[in-house]
Structure 1
C-alpha cells in the first residue's frame, strides 16, 4: 500500500487550483506554446494565468510530484496494487538502467536479429499478428501510421474473439508463406489463445508438417508459450513491470519491425526516449506532459467536462483514438484512491474521436453547439508526406478553423446583424440567430508534429503516457492496474462453461439467466 496523500478535495492546494482555473483567461489572450521533444504543444486556448500556473506547481508539490516521477523513471514501485514497477521507460532508453540493461538490450537485439534473418531468408510474404488490447493496439497503430505507402509484408491484425476476425485475418493468404505472431503478456488471454488455435489448425490443414516453425510468441510468460508448443528460440520476452498498454516499446513491437524494418522500431523508441528526457528535466512551466495534464485536470474538475475528444488531422492516425482510449480510460477509470478510499472528485474523462476532417461531418456539430461540449486535442503535422500541397493547406485550414470556432463562438447579436439584410422580419432574424449561435469559449490543445515520422510518433505516445501519470498522481489513484477488466473476464469464463454444458447455470440476474438458457441447451 502507498500512503501519505490526503484526500484530494480536502486540500488547500486543490481548492486554490480549481479557484484559479475559474479566474483564468479562457479566450487565448496570450500565446502559450510548449516545445517538447520535437513536438509543439499549443495550450493557448486552455485556461491560463500566472495564478493558475503557480497553483498548478503548488498542487504538484503537495502531491510529491518530483519523488513520484523519480520513482517511476527509476523503476520503483509505481503500481502499488500489484507491487511492481511501471518501467516502460526502461524499454526505450538508449542505455537502459543498469539492473535491467542486460535483459532489455539482449531482447532488443534478439528481435532485430530475427527480423534480419527472415528478411535475408525471404520466406514470409505475410504476417498474421494475434493479440488483443495492449498487445494489439500499439503495433496496429504504428504500422497503419507509418506504413501508409506500403509495408514489406502484408500485415493482418487479429484481436477479437468474434470468429469473423480470425477468418478475415487468414483468408486469401498462402499458409506456406505466412508467419503467425502470437502476442500476449500473460499468454492465457482467451481471445488470443483461441485465435492462435485457429491459425495453427489453418497451417496444419494446409499440409504444413510442423506449423510451430511458422509461429513466434511475444510474452512475459515464456513458460506458457513453451508449454503451448512455441520453441524458446522463437519466443520473445518482456517483463511484468511493463504494463500491457505500455508494451509497444518491448518485443511487442516485433510486427512493426517485420512490416517497416527495424529502423522504424528504433525511431519510435528514440522519439519516446526523447520525451522521457524532456519529462524528466524540463521545468514545470515548459514541461509538455505536465502542462497537458494540468489543462486536463482543470477541464475535468473545474469546468466539469466529462469527456475528451481526440481529433488527429492525419488519416494515417486512424488507430490513435482507440490506442489513447485504452491508455487513458483503462488507466484513469478508477473510483478509489491509493489507500482504498472513495475518490472525492471525478477522475478520467471519456476519450473519443476520429480523424479530421471526417469528424467534422459526424460529431463536430455536438462539439460546437451541444450544451455540454468537450475539450479537443487537435493533432496535425507541419509537413505532409504526399505530393498534394493543396490538400495539406485545406487540412491545416480546417484544423485551425474548427479550433478557432470552438474558442471564438458567435453571439446572437452578431448573427442578427448578419441576418438583418437577408430577413425582412426582425422576429424571424432573431429566431434564426438563436439557432445559429455558437457559445464559444471551448478549450482545445493543438499538438503539431514536424511530420509523421517514427520519432515524432514515439514522442507523441510518450507525451500522453506521462500526462496520464501526472493526472493519476494528482487524483491519488493507481493508473497501472485494471481490475475492472479482470472481473468481466472471470464472469465470461464461467458463462462459457455454462453455455458448453460443462457447469450448471446459476447465480445470474434474470436477463443473463434467460440468455444463458437460450444459447445453452443446444441453442448454439
Structure 2
C-alpha cells in the first residue's frame, strides 16, 4: 500500500465546480442532447449489460464528459484508488476494497485471512456443527452479508442465518426466537468492535447462549474486526477472530472477512464467486475506454440527471424478488458516500451532490410508487435491474416479469400526450370536453431517464460485478464533485449526543439540550 500519496493535514480544495468551464460545457451539452433514445447504447462489463439508451446522449455530450473527467483529475484519482494510495483524505488512509477481491491480492495478509475463513468453514462443515448462525453487526457490517445471503440463498442454505442490527430489543428477541443455543454460532462483525448497537447486542447474544445451557458460550462466538485486541478482550477465541483492515470502509467491506456468514450459509465457493465478479468489474473499470466504461458512463448519466435536469432522487427498481435488500445496500453506499456539502479541502460545494436513493423490487413498486414516477411533476431517474434467466421452474412468471420491466421503462421514456389520448377517450366519453378531461388525467410526461442493467442470472459472479459497478460509479461522481466519498463524519455527531443522553437516562447529570429534547429526556427519566 502506498503511504506517500496525499498528506496528513488539510489538502487544497479543487477549483469550484460551478466555475469550471468543462462543467458548464457538460451541463450545456446535456441539455442540448437527445433524450428520446434515438441511439442504442449498450455497454458490456464483467458479464453484465448496461443499457443507457434512455439517458441524454450526443457526441458533444460524450466529448464534454471526457473533458470534464480530465479537468477533475479522474485518471490520477482512479490510479490512487486502485493502487492503494490515500483516497480517503480526511482519515489519511486508502480505500483499497479492490485489494480484497484481487487474486492474488496485492496485500498478502488479505490472502491469509481468506484462507482462514475458508478453513474455518470447512472445519465446521466437516464436523457438522451449527444449524444456524446469529449474525450481529450494523451498517456496512450488516447490509452486505444480508444482501448476498438473501439474494443467493433462495434455493436453500446450509445454515439458517439470522441478522440482528438494530439496538431495539425486539430485533434481538426476533433474532433468537426458535433457535437452539447449542446449535448456533454467534458471529459479531464490527470494524471498530466498539459500535454501541453491535456490542450491546453481542453481550445479549452471549447471555442467551449461557442462559440456554451452553457451558462454554465463547466457544460458539466468532468475530470479524480490525480491532483484534478488543475481540480478544471480549473472550473470543483467537482462532475464531477474523481480521479486516481500517482501509476497508464499512460499506465496502463485504469483500473481506465480513463475508464469513456468506460462506457459512452458502459455501466458500459462493463467496469466491462474488469476489471473482467484483474483480472482473475492477479490471473493466481500470482498462476500458471511457466511452465504453460502464461505471464511468453510469456516473456521467447520474451527474447530468442531478445537475442538468434537477432530479433530486434516484430510484432503484430490481425486477427480482431476491434483490429486496439491494435498495438499502445502495442507499448506504450512495448516500453515506455522496451526502457531502464540502469538498476535500473543506470548502462548500457549489452544486448539489448525491441524490436521495429509494425503491423496492418490481413488480411490487408498480403498485406502490410508479404512479408518482410516471405522472408526478418531479419524477426520478430509474435503474431497472433484471436477470436474463430465472432460477425457478415457472417460465410464464419470468416472461411477465420481463414484460413489465421493459414496459414500465418504455412508458417512462415515451410518455403519452393529451393529443394522443383524446381520440381514444372519445369512445368512452359523452362529448369532446369530457374526452379531453379524461385525456388530461391519463397523460404521461415521458422523457424520463432510466438505465437497464441485465444480469445473465443471479449467480455470485454477477452479483459481485453489480455491486462493484455501483461502487465505482459512486467514486467517479465523487471525483467530479471533489468530495471524499470514503468518510462519513455526518454519522458521528448523533452517536456522540446519544452517548450523553443515554448516560442522562441512566441517572447521570443533565446535559444542555434544546427545549424539546430536554422535555423528553426529563419525561423518560
Q: Distance in 1 between matches of 2:214 and 2:509?
A: 40
Kindly provide the CA deviation profile for residues 302-346 of structure 1, in whole angstroms up to 9, marking residues without a partner as x: 000000000000000010000000000000000000110000000
502, 514, 520: which one aligns with 2:519: 514
User: Which residue is 2:399 aligned to?
Assistant: 393
User: Do structure 1's residue 35 and structure 2's residue 11 form an aligned pair?
Assistant: no
296, 306, 325: which one aligns with 2:302: 296
User: Which residue is 1:16 aligned to?
Assistant: 25
The 5 Å alignment of 1:192-341 reads 192-341=198-347
User: Which residue is 1:78 aligned to?
Assistant: 87
331, 354, 358: which one aligns with 1:348: 354
User: Which residue is 1:505 aligned to?
Assistant: 510
User: Which residue is 2:3 aligned to?
Assistant: none
Task: Return the offset for 1:263.
Answer: 0.1
Q: Distance in 1 between matches of 2:330 and 2:202?
A: 26
Kindly provide the CA deviation profile for residues 439-496 of structure 1, in whole angstroms up to 9, marking residues without a partner as x: 1000000000000000000000000000000000000000000001011111111100
User: Which residue is 1:157 aligned to?
Assistant: 163
Give RMSD over aligned pairs.
0.7
Gap regions ≥5 residues in structure 2 = 1-9
**Which deviates further from its counterpart, 414-423 or 369-378?**
414-423
User: Do structure 1's residue 360 and structure 2's residue 369 form an aligned pair?
Assistant: no
**Which deviates further from its counterpart, 199-208 or 236-245?**
199-208
Q: Distance in 1 between matches of 2:351 and 2:500?
A: 35
User: Which residue is 2:66 aligned to?
Assistant: 57
Task: Return the offset for 1:123.
Answer: 1.5
User: Which residue is 2:128 aligned to?
Assistant: 122
Kindly provide the CA deviation profile for residues 340-364 of structure 1, in whole angstroms up to 9, marking residues without a partner as x: 0000000000000000000000000
Kindly provide the CA deviation profile for residues 12-37 of structure 1, in whole angstroms up to 9, marking residues without a partner as x: 00000000000000000010001111
User: Which residue is 2:148 aligned to?
Assistant: 142
Kindly provide the CA deviation profile for residues 267-307 of structure 1, in whole angstroms up to 9, marking residues without a partner as x: 00000000000000000000000000000000000000000
> TM-score, structure 1 length as denominator?
0.98
SS in 1 for 2:340: coil
Q: Distance in 1 between matches of 2:337 and 2:265?
A: 29
The 5 Å alignment of 1:444-523 reads 444-501=450-507, 503-520=508-525
Q: Distance in 1 between matches of 2:159 and 2:110?
A: 26
Q: Distance in 1 between matches of 2:124 and 2:428?
A: 69
Task: Return the offset for 1:4.
Answer: 6.0
Q: Distance in 1 between matches of 2:352 and 2:73?
A: 21
User: Do structure 1's residue 409 and structure 2's residue 415 form an aligned pair?
Assistant: yes
Q: Distance in 1 between matches of 2:250 and 2:479?
A: 20
SS in 2 for 1:440: coil
User: Do structure 1's residue 96 and structure 2's residue 81 form an aligned pair?
Assistant: no
User: Which residue is 1:45 aligned to?
Assistant: 54
User: Which residue is 1:68 aligned to?
Assistant: 77
Kindly provide the CA deviation profile for residues 120-153 of structure 1, in whole angstroms up to 9, marking residues without a partner as x: 0111001000000000000000000000111001
Task: Return the offset for 1:232.
Answer: 1.4
SS in 2 for 1:249: coil
Q: Distance in 2 between matches of 1:4 and 1:53?
A: 26
Kindly provide the CA deviation profile for residues 392-412 of structure 1, in whole angstroms up to 9, marking residues without a partner as x: 000000000000000000000
**Which deviates further from its counterpart, 136-145 or 430-439?**
430-439
Contact 2:500-2:511 at 8 Å conserved across structures: no
Task: Return the offset for 1:3.
Answer: 2.9
Contact 2:13-2:343 at 8 Å conserved across structures: no
Q: How many aligned residue pairs are there? A: 516
